[in-house]
Chains A and B, each alone.
Chain A
Amino acid sequence: MKSRRTIARRSLIWLLIAQLMVLAPLALHIPLWLSVTALLVIAWRWWLERGRGRFPGPWWRSALAIAVTAMLYVSVGGSFAMETMVSLLVAGFVLKLTELRREGDVYLLCFLAYFVAATQLLFFTQFLGSVYSLLCFCAITGTLLVNQMAGARSPASPSPWRTLAGLLFQALPIMLVLFLALPRLGSLWTVPLNSTAGTTGVSDSMSPGDIADLMQSDELAFRVTFAADIPPAHERYWRALVLDEFDGRRWSQSDFHDVGNGRASVWRRSDQALTELARPMSYEIMLEPTGENWLYALAVPQTDASGVDLSRGYTLFQRKPISQRKQYSVISQLFYRAQGSGLDEREKRAALQLPDTGNLQTRERARQWAEQEPGSQALINRFLRLVQSRFRYTLQPPLLGDDSVDEFLWQTRAGFCEHFASSFVFFMRAAGVPARVVVGYQGGQVNPHEGYLTVRQLDAHAWAEVWMEGVGWQRVDPTAAVAPERIDRGVEYSLDDSDAQLLANAMGRRFAAWGNLQLQWDAFNYRWHRWVMGYDNQAQQDFLRRLLGASSPWRVTLALIVAIGTVAALIVGWLFWRTREPVAPSVKIYRRLCRKLDAAGVTRWHGETPSDFAARVGQLRPEWAEDMNSVTHLFLRSYYAEDDAAFEALKHKARALLRRIG
């Protein structure tokens, strides 16, 4: 309805508050100047409402619209992502205020507000964020309601709060049914969520200091729920990438392993012999958005998740960057023998690659040791013994020069996991043993409340893999030799105090009470994500099968109709029950009499007055005439004249007559 009446002040207040509520959390995701403009326009519209100033003419409005569009274009610079769209929406949403005068204009603004409020949920999916969005929806619906109630003349108008609460309370069960039963369609087209957001977590190359930088972040990387027992910490190596190309300082992926740019080919387990040495382990990972396209899993993973592939380095990756929280299940074979019979030429070349120059001391020593030791395993053990006896594990290693491996191994002898992994792989390659660096996370904290595992950025780790004849790729973690508590308990237990200061949230991890609260809250949020955000087609099928016995489409449709119909019937019932007419006791008595007469064959016609009916009863059944007349008289007296004495007499007489009839 397009009403031409001027918007009432009450609806304007509701509208402006709803707008502020909708815009507040988005301020983090739109350009700052746009947030400021929005605030100014809202304040100015209120200023106008208070009777100060005049509405701008069409010229001013167009000028403002053009200015905002131009600024938007400049600030987002032509790239198109969801954040751009949200900014555009917000701009339109706010500028519409400059011509908001009539009741009818409120609708467009409210519908826009619904959509903008929904976009909040793209960025805030925590439990509190969802509750906030629900509040926004309430505020917008309240605006519609108040706008509709504005100008009511009846003093009987109810409070909008109560009506609003009623509407939402009744809508929630229907929403729940739809949420549980309506099937989900896949993505229809791809618009990246944000164009500028940085990536978090492990990156696709590793230089000294990279992983130590991650220690400063307590941010969640992912959470894992195991189907059975959680494996011990020293087996929880969450691999992301295999880095096998070294330029003297930086490790990166060779063409052979580069999953990020799609240069590496997909690996199928059937391609190469994989011997399973134990029962595989199944678990579910909920990965926080990283902006990268690799996923985390224990070696050797296998997954059904759509769009996710396995690389030759036993890592998982997908084509699209992970811009939203991703949930996937994996089955991993923790104990395996793979590629034991030999590496193909290309892979072998990649696994032995070294830069042409540099680190001469290490090369020389590696050659010597290779000659002295009988096999790869002995070589590894000797290296680890060296590390164990002479090295120090620290977050603040001395700076290294050009020959970083030489300086680390033979001079400074203090470093972090990346130093150990890097020099170990260099050493092995120099000794002629195929080796590679693997990066990812190690360990993770078990949440005692829910029994899941939380892996944070400061669990980032780098380790090595060595290929041995007959055994295949085997994990070797030199960090475990120098700092075993890092592997078994976590990084915070492996550093001395001055290093621990550098860790993020050192306090939370050390003080039990605060940490416990955090753990509980995290457990709650995790549950929210798993069951609400993660309620996908598969979960839905399972749920419906458990509920209905089978999840065939017609069964689901029927259940949907029945459920929504029941809710609707309850609402209608409530609407009528709430306002049903009270029936006077005298009317009840008279109705009972009519029913009795009906059974005896004298039916009162619709609309027949009691007096007429009494006369007709008298004609048809003269024996009841007298009683019927007096009862009718008493009924009329007690009902219309509200005569209590007549009511008492009516009760008495009616009972007598009922007896005579029956």
Chain B
Amino acid sequence: MFLAIKQQCKSYFWRLAERRSPRAEAVVLRHRSIYVLPSKAGLGYMLAGLLVWLLGTNYQNNLILAASFLLFALFVVSVLHAFGNLSGLQLRALKAEPGFVGETLEFPVELISSRSVFHLLLQPVRGPVLRCDLGRDQANVVKIPLAAQRRGWLKPDRLLLKSYFPLGITRVWSWVYLEGKVLVYPEPRPAQFAPQYGADSSGDQGDRVRADDDFMGFVRYQPGASLAQVAWKLYARGAGLHLKQFGAQQRQSQWLDYHALLGDVETRLSGLCFLALEWHAAEIDYGLILPGTRLEPAGGDQHLQRVLSELALFNPAEVGREV
């Protein structure tokens, strides 16, 4: 019950914070989204100021009182400077390089300000603190690490920008929601080929291996071989890519076929991703067949990216049928 309320409050808080600093590709920090409070050291500073004030009050010593007022005034000025330090800072999400599930991707953010910005600390929600100083009108690119956990578009979570400048007694911060995204490809992982698949043979799905052919043995993988012929078990043992040789060899086709693999959606996509990389490295032309999508065989970096993007963004629910 209590936890639920806490959760509720938390989510309300973050909604509020997000409303004050809406998601955008480029964000300029303004007073609406900048917060200043005393830091932990600042509380100590205030305590020292209070003690000095008590000393001055007790001994009715105007000079000591003036000293405590000076401490207070320094705090006020420090808050203003802290605010001025962050205010006007512009952040822009740059184009990020895609990567695979399991990797840590880098999300580049360009920081620029018409003023010098000192001792800026950037902290993603889960991640290390990055330190950065900016010269006046000097762009600085900070690469924010993002752990890719699922395929598809990865959006950076809110970014905490904070600074303890100038005296370390104030903590000025802002939550920044950058409208950027990184494409995350499935993790390349070998998957198992479906042996029964050959029974269903419709022309437009390309040539397939017949299940009733006699197994003859293994040969080294050759460019252009069908994925159905790959000896996945051998590969999984670390023996490299080999093809199963069947009695009646067929002309090898170049299709990455979703239906030719075993396992759930993610396993199959990982398998397809793995093969795409292998074939690309081996300079084989290949096409892609996904439920609802078909890419004609081709080669090259662009084709690989198209194929990987399709794999990354494949949405079984969108296809509208059980796969």
Contact = CB atoms under 8 A, between A and B. Distances in A.
A binds B: yes
B164 interface: yes
A571 interface: yes
B57 to A, nearest CB: 5
Interface in B130-177: 131-136, 138, 164-169, 171
A27 interface: no
Contacts of A581: 114
Interface string B184-222: 000000000000000000000000000000000000000
B57 A118 contact: no
A1 B61 contact: no
A174 interface: yes
Interface string A66-87: 0000000000000000100000
Nearest to A121: B63
B267 interface: no
Interface in B104-139: 114-116, 118-119, 131-136, 138
Contact of A171 (B48, B52, B77, B115): B77
Contact of A324 (B61, B116, B164, B169): B61
A172 interface: yes
A2 B133 contact: no
Contacts of B250: none
Interface residues of A, number: 70
A24 interface: no
Given A175-B70, A575-B81, A155 B135 contact: yes
Nearest to B132: A153
A188 B57 CA distance: 7
Interface stretch (A57-65, A108-116, A626-634): A108-116
A149 B59 CA distance: 36
Contacts of B37: none
A72 B100 CA distance: 67
B134 A174 contact: no
Contact of B63 (A108, A130, A578): A130
Nearest to A82: B59
A489 to B, nearest CB: 36
B231 to A, nearest CB: 53
Contact of A114 (B52, B60, B65, B81): B52
B226 interface: no
B66 A122 contact: no
Given A125-B61, A125-B63, A156-B134, A144 B169 contact: yes
B164 A167 contact: no
Secondary structure type dominating chain B contacts: helix
Interface string A142-175: 0011011101111111100001000110111111
B80 A168 contact: no
A643 B287 CA distance: 51
Interface stretch (A176-184, A277-285, A331-339, A409-417): A176-184
A182 B69 contact: yes
B282 interface: no
Given A171-B76, A179-B65, A111 B45 contact: yes
A389 interface: no
Contact of A163 (B41, B47, B59, B166): B166
Contacts of B168: 1, 107, 144, 147-148
Given A115-B51, A145-B166, A572-B80, A158 B116 contact: yes
B72 A178 contact: yes
B77 A174 contact: yes
Counting contact residues on chain B (CB < 8 A from A), the size range is 35 or more
Interface in A572-603: 572, 575-576, 578-581
A1 B39 contact: yes
B78 A133 contact: no
A148 B134 contact: no
B73 to A, nearest CB: 4
A157 B47 contact: no
Nearest to A111: B48
Given A130-B63, A133-B63, A156-B135, A579 B74 contact: no
Nearest to B70: A175
A533 B62 CA distance: 5
A552 B70 CA distance: 25
6 contacts: A107-B168, A118-B52, A167-B81, A188-B57, A571-B77, A571-B80
Interface of A: 1-2, 82, 104, 107-108, 111-112, 114-115, 117-119, 121-122, 125, 130, 133-134, 137, 141, 144-145, 147-149, 151-158, 163, 167-168, 170-175, 178-179, 182, 184-189, 191, 193, 324, 532-536, 564, 568, 571-572, 575-576, 578-581
Give 3 closest A-B pairs by Cβ, nearest first.
A154-B133, A156-B135, A174-B73
Interface of B: 39-41, 44-45, 47-49, 51-52, 54-74, 76-78, 80-81, 83-84, 87-88, 114-116, 118-119, 131-136, 138, 164-169, 171
Given A157-B118, A174-B76, A536-B60, 8 more contacts: A1-B39, A1-B41, A117-B67, A153-B131, A174-B72, A179-B69, A188-B54, A188-B58
